[in-house]
């Protein structure tokens, strides 16, 4: 079926099915529609829309609360439209108080996102793996989670509550918050930035029975762990937020340095994705098929 006119999946329902049928869901980070399509092409079941990558690619700035809800939702819509697998999206702090959170949930849901995570940081928030974070009172975040739960248009929409309290108040506080957020209606809990293998294990033990998201933050505060360890500990979703962003940045920088040195791309052509293959990948044959079907020869 042509991708431009195919029947789109029900993202939230499909994500729920995956959560019920798979022991571990892997969701690499996409920062735009193209990176999302590459994630789908390479066989992953879920795309994660990274807030860090969205800020970097759209604004050229770090993830420090500069990007707006409208910009995030707009990027989420383009990513959802580009793929036919569920998309989990970063929704930062929910962009305000519980009333703002209600609108945030519904805006993301209307563009077809399967689930979002909201966090308990003070706004303007910061990337979970840089210093200087602050968190709001537990009770205030519980109100946000409760409002988000009530705002869902579909019972299948997945609400992920994230706590950044480890870096601010310690692991015990983060665990207390996690349990309260789950009681308030979160479907999945995301304890951000554990700083050791021991903390990763404690989180899984203390929150046993609660679906958990693990942030495999490339180069961040959390030590790298294998898939086997995460599966054994019972984590449900693993995101790799910036592998695509960092890989693309490195490749683009190296190619531009070569072009700047040589004056043309002649010496890097063997490192580029072949132009014809790229046209096929982004759907030119599909467009040409539709042109043959719907556009008369007199107009072409």
pLDDT tens sequence across 107-139: 999 999 999 999 999 988 888 787 888 999 999
In this predicted structure, what is the pLDDT of residue 129? 86
C-alpha to C-alpha distance for 34 and 268, rounded to whole angstroms: 22
Q: Using 50, 70 and 90 to split pLDDT, how confident is the model at 27?
A: very high
Which single residue is written with the structure tokens 């500069």? 66
- DSSP strand pairing (87-90 vs 47-49): parallel
Percent of the chain with pLDDT over 70: 98
Cα–Cα distances in angstroms (integers) from residue 248 to residues 34, 254, 268, 289, in the given order: 11, 10, 15, 31
Q: Using 50, 70 and 90 to split pLDDT, how confident is the model at 210?
A: very high
Residue 264 has pLDDT above 90, yes or no: yes
Contacts of 157 (CB under 8 A, 6+ apart): 12, 105, 109, 114, 115
In this predicted structure, what is the pLDDT of residue 300? 53
Q: Using 50, 70 and 90 to split pLDDT, how confident is the model at 3?
A: confident
Under 8 Å between Cβ of 245 and 29: yes
Cα–Cα distances in angstroms (integers) from residue 116 to residues 141, 156, 217, 224, 255, in the given order: 15, 12, 18, 24, 35
Peptide bond into 114 cis (omega under 30): no
- Which backbone phi and psi does 203 adopt, to 5 degrees? -60, -45
pLDDT tens-digit map of 88-101: 999 999 999 999 99
Annotated active-site positions, please?
48, 63, 90, 92, 117, 119, 127, 162, 192, 215
C-alpha to C-alpha distance for 92 and 250, rounded to whole angstroms: 26
In this predicted structure, what is the pLDDT of residue 299? 62
Under 8 Å between Cβ of 223 and 34: no
- Which backbone phi and psi does 161 adopt, to 5 degrees? -100, 125
Structure tokens at 37: 């399509």
């Amino acid at each position: 079926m042509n991708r431009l006119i195919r029947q789109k999946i029900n993202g939230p329902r499909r994500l729920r099915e995956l959560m019920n049928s798979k022991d571990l869901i892997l969701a690499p980070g996409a920062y735009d529609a193209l990176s999302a399509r590459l994630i789908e092409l390479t066989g992953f079941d879920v795309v994660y829309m990274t807030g860090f990558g969205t800020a970097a690619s759209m604004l050229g700035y770090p993830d420090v609360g500069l990007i707006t809800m409208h910009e995030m939702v707009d990027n989420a819509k383009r990513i959802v439209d580009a793929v036919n697998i569920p998309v989990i999206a970063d929704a930062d702090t929910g962009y305000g108080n519980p009333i703002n959170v209600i609108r945030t949930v519904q805006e993301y849901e209307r563009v077809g996102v399967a689930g979002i995570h909201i966090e308990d940081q003070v706004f303007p928030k910061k990337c979970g793996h840089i210093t200087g974070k602050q968190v709001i009172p537990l009770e205030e975040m519980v109100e946000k989670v409760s409002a988000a739960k009530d705002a869902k248009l579909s019972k299948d929409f997945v609400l992920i509550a994230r706590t950044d309290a480890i870096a601010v108040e310690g692991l015990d506080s983060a665990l207390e918050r996690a349990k309260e957020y789950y009681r308030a209606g979160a479907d999945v809990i995301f304890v951000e930035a554990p700083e050791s293998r021991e903390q990763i294990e404690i989180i899984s033990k203390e929150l046993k029975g609660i679906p958990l998201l693990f942030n495999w933050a490339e180069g961040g505060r959390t030590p790298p762990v294998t898939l086997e360890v995460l599966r054994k500990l019972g984590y449900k979703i693993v995101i790799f937020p910036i592998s695509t962003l960092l890989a693309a940045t490195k490749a683009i920088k190296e190619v531009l340095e070569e072009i700047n040195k040589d004056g043309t791309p002649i010496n890097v052509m063997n490192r580029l994705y072949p132009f014809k293959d790229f046209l096929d990948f982004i759907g030119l044959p599909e467009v040409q098929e539709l042109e043959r079907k719907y556009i008369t020869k007199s107009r072409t």
